[in-house]
């Protein structure tokens, strides 16, 4: 393997007293937590697009990162070096998975046929790297938002010709995931939304997306792809009014169009906060429905207010997130994909290591804190006691459909004015911060 990170050795766990910036302080892959290794709880993945294709450009300035894997003479040569860098990085970091978009891994060709063949060539190479390194594919997706043909949307495009291109791309991306043993396939509808209702028929566009998803489900069955389909909600950016605004909207869409059994949700922290929720809220919406399929791990910056995709370093929301994950039995075939990029000013390739180490340590601390909260039991016990009336008597029978408005009125008249109990928010927050 050619080396792109020659000065970096395998990142090891050294414990919380270590001052080595290239060591884990909390992430100890083989440490057992509640009967499972940390590695198995987390199932960390590196995102090809941010870690290897991000240039540091923003709406006000061009790229600034000078990456050694971007020096090749042709787009395919660059793609091959990028892939070598990807597997070297992941092996040195010691995470089990990666994720990619078709166009991160393989460049768009001059023709459709060339694009298809570029992807096939690089998938064949990735298969060899996966075998050599043991690194696995958590999920892949098709980039249905960068090319100018998707300017008015992908599956929701007013022109079926564009939707045919989108179908071609997803078909080939599904072939790639199947070939690479990927465990999930993600749909993120970046341009499936609209700019103005003056030029948009919302009813049609939502029906088109649903018909498109049905074709994807059928094709997966046809080729024997048994991985999990995931939808990743986002409220806006790049399009306004994205049709998959948040987790609850996605679940409603799936129910409306008879897709509920075929999909789960990929919750991204910064997307949940852009939708005006907390990260833990969208996780809870999915987890309580048995639909939590994966997490795109990152965080936003409240002082900027757009999708900054920063590496997560804030332990409080991560602990709350891991509480939901642990209490509801994990993420199934999903994991924690770092859909996060280093800041524009973090110019060096070593910054990519610091960023991932910090994100992994933050989640490891969150996992340990969440497990200790569960073990101590006060928060669970408080919550259970708060709802105890629903486990017995008329509360229980109302849930069983055995009460009426009249019978409940009779109960109210019998019992008189209820006495409100404290919600104890501050006490519960103190328990959370003590565990951290
Ligand atoms: C965009 C985003 C994407 C998806 C995959 O905000 O999160 O990277 O995760 O297309
Ligand atoms: Co994402």
End-to-end CA distance of the chain: 41
Please give all residues whose beta carbon lies within 6 A of any atom in ligand 1, as ranges: 101, 141, 186, 188, 232, 234, 268, 296, 307, 339
Name the residue with the closest Cα to ligand 1, atom 4: 188
Query: Is the confidence at residue 1, as pLDDT, over 70?
Result: no
Q: What is the mean pLDDT of residues 86-98?
A: 98
Catalytic residue chosen out of the listed positions 101, 271, 281, 356:
101
pLDDT at 249: 98
Specify the 3-state DSSP secondary structure of 230. Answer: strand
Phi-psi region of 424 (alpha: psi -120 to 50; beta: other; left: phi over 0): left
Q: Which atom of ligand 1 is nearest to the CA of 49?
A: 8
pLDDT at 2: 66
Query: pLDDT tens digits, residue range 292-322?
Result: 999 999 999 989 989 999 999 999 999 999 9
Q: Which domains does the chain have, with CATH numbers?
A: 12-376 (3.20.20.150), 381-435 (no CATH)
Q: What is the mean pLDDT of residues 137-151?
A: 98
pLDDT at 313: 98
Mean of the per-residue pLDDT values for the chain? 98
Query: Is the confidence at residue 257, as pLDDT, over 90?
Result: yes
Residue with tokens 């997490």: 295
Ligand nearest to the CA of 296: 2
Long-range interactions of 375-382: CB distance < 8 A, separation 24+: 376/431, 376/435, 378/428, 378/431, 379/428, 379/431, 379/432, 380/327, 382/424, 382/428
- Centre of ligand 2 to C-alpha 269, Å, is 9
pLDDT at 195: 96
Name the residue with the closest Cα to ligand 1, atom 3: 188
What Å distances lie between residue 151 and 102, 148, 162, 190, 238, CA to CA? Answer: 18, 5, 10, 11, 10
pLDDT at 431: 98
Between CA 332 and CA 40 the distance in angstroms is 11
User: Cβ–Cβ contacts within 10 Å for residue 159, how many?
Assistant: 11
Kind of pairing between the strands at 97-101 and 44-47: parallel
Q: What is the mean pLDDT of residues 70-97?
A: 98
- Centre of ligand 1 to C-alpha 238, Å, is 11
Asked if 263 and 231 touch (Cβ cutoff 8 Å), the reply is: yes
Query: Is the confidence at residue 185, as pLDDT, over 80?
Result: yes
Q: State both tokens at 228.
A: 């999990």
Query: pLDDT tens digits, residue range 116-126?
Result: 999 999 999 99
Mutate which of 188, 282, 294 to test ligand 1's pocket (most atoms within 8 Å of Cβ)?
A: 188
Residue 161: active-site member: no
Ligand nearest to the CA of 300: 1
- Centre of ligand 2 to C-alpha 338, Å, is 8
Mutate which of 232, 233, 236, 335 to test ligand 1's pocket (most atoms within 8 Å of Cβ)?
A: 232
Name the residue with the closest Cα to ligand 1, atom 8: 339
Q: What is the DSSP string of 304-335?
A: T-S---BPP--HHHHHHHHHHHHHTT--TT--
Query: Is the confidence at residue 413, as pLDDT, over 80?
Result: yes
Total residue length of the chain: 436
- Centre of ligand 2 to C-alpha 403, Å, is 45
Name the residue with the closest Cα to ligand 1, atom 10: 188
Q: Classify residue 24 as exposed, middle or buried by CB count within 10 Å of its CB (0-12, 13-18, 19+).
A: buried
pLDDT at 40: 98
Specify the 3-state DSSP secondary structure of 260. Answer: helix
Query: pLDDT tens digits, residue range 369-398?
Result: 999 999 999 999 999 999 999 999 999 999
Based on DSSP, count helices (H) and strands (E) in the chain, helices before strands. Answer: 16, 12
Supply the pTM of this predicted model.
Answer: 0.98
What Å distances lie between residue 58 and 307, 343, 345, CA to CA? Answer: 12, 10, 11
- Cβ neighbours of residue 234 closer than 8 Å, sequence gap 6 or more: 188, 189, 190, 242, 244, 245, 268, 271, 274, 275, 307
What Å distances lie between residue 164 and 89, 157, 172, CA to CA? Answer: 36, 10, 12
Query: Is the confidence at residue 127, as pLDDT, over 70?
Result: yes
Beta bridge partners of 296: 268, 337
Name the residue with the closest Cα to ligand 1, atom 7: 339
pLDDT at 57: 97
Return the DSSP state at 46: E
Q: Classify residue 422 as exposed, middle or buried by CB count within 10 Å of its CB (0-12, 13-18, 19+).
A: exposed
Catalytic residue chosen out of the listed positions 28, 104, 282, 307:
104
pLDDT at 46: 99
Asked if 318 and 312 touch (Cβ cutoff 8 Å), the reply is: yes
Q: Classify residue 128 as exposed, middle or buried by CB count within 10 Å of its CB (0-12, 13-18, 19+).
A: exposed
Q: Which atom of ligand 1 is nearest to the CA of 145?
A: 10
- Centre of ligand 1 to C-alpha 4, Å, is 26
Q: Which atom of ligand 1 is nearest to the CA of 47?
A: 8
Query: pLDDT tens digits, residue range 339-358?
Result: 999 999 999 999 999 999 99
Query: Is the confidence at residue 416, as pLDDT, over 80?
Result: yes
Q: State both tokens at 175.
A: 């072939």
Return the DSSP state at 61: B
Between CA 354 and CA 340 the distance in angstroms is 12
The rounded percent of the chain whose pLDDT value lies above 90 is: 99
Q: What is the mean pLDDT of residues 401-421?
A: 98
Q: State both tokens at 331.
A: 């993420």
Q: Which atom of ligand 1 is nearest to the CA of 237?
A: 6
Between CA 340 and CA 160 the distance in angstroms is 33
Residue 152: active-site member: no
């Amino acid at each position: 393997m050619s080396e792109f990170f020659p000065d970096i050795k395998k990142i090891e766990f050294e414990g919380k007293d270590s001052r080595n910036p290239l060591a884990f302080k909390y992430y100890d892959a083989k440490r057992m937590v509640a009967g499972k290794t940390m590695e198995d709880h987390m199932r960390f993945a590196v995102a090809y697009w941010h870690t290897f294709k991000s240039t540091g450009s923003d709406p006000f300035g061009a790229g600034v990162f000078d990456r050694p894997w971007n020096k090749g003479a042709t787009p395919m040569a660059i793609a091959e070096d990028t892939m070598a860098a990807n597997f070297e990085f992941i092996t040195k970091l010691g995470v089990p998975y990666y994720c990619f978009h078709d166009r991160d891994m393989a460049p768009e060709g001059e023709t459709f046929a060339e694009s298809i063949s570029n992807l096939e060539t690089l998938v064949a190479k990735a298969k060899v790297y996966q075998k050599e390194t043991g690194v696995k594919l958590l999920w892949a997706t098709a980039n249905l938002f960068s090319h100018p043909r998707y300017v008015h949307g992908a599956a929701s495009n007013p022109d079926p010709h564009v939707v045919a291109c989108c179908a071609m791309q997803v078909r080939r991306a599904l072939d790639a995931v199947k070939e690479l043993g990927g465990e999930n396939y993600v749909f993120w509808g970046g341009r499936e939304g609209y700019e103005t209702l003056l030029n948009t028929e919302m009813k049609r566009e939502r029906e088109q997306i649903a018909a498109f998803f049905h074709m994807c489900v059928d094709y997966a069955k046809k080729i024997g792809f048994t991985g999990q389909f995931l939808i990743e909600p986002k409220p806006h950016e790049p399009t306004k009014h994205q049709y998959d605004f948040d987790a609850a909207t996605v679940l409603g869409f799936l129910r409306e169009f008879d897709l509920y059994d075929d999909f789960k949700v990929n919750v991204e922290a910064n997307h949940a906060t852009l939708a005006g929720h907390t990260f833990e809220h969208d996780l809870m919406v999915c987890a309580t429905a048995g639909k939590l399929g994966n997490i795109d791990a990152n965080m936003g910056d409240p002082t900027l207010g757009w999708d900054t995709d920063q590496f997560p370093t804030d332990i409080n929301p991560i602990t709350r997130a891991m509480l939901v994950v642990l209490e509801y039995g994990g993420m199934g075939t999903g994991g924690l994909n770092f859909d996060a990029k280093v800041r524009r000013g973090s110019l060096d390739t070593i910054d990519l290591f610091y960023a991932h180490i910090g994100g992994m340590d933050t989640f490891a601390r969150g996992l340990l804190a969440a497990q200790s909260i569960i073990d101590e039991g006060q928060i669970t016990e408080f919550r259970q006691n708060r709802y105890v009336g629903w486990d017995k008597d008329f509360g229980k029978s109302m849930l069983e459909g055995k009460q009426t408005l009249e019978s409940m009125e009779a109960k109210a008249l019998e019992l008189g004015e209820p006495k409100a109990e404290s919600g104890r928010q501050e006490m519960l927050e103190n328990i959370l911060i003590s565990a951290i």
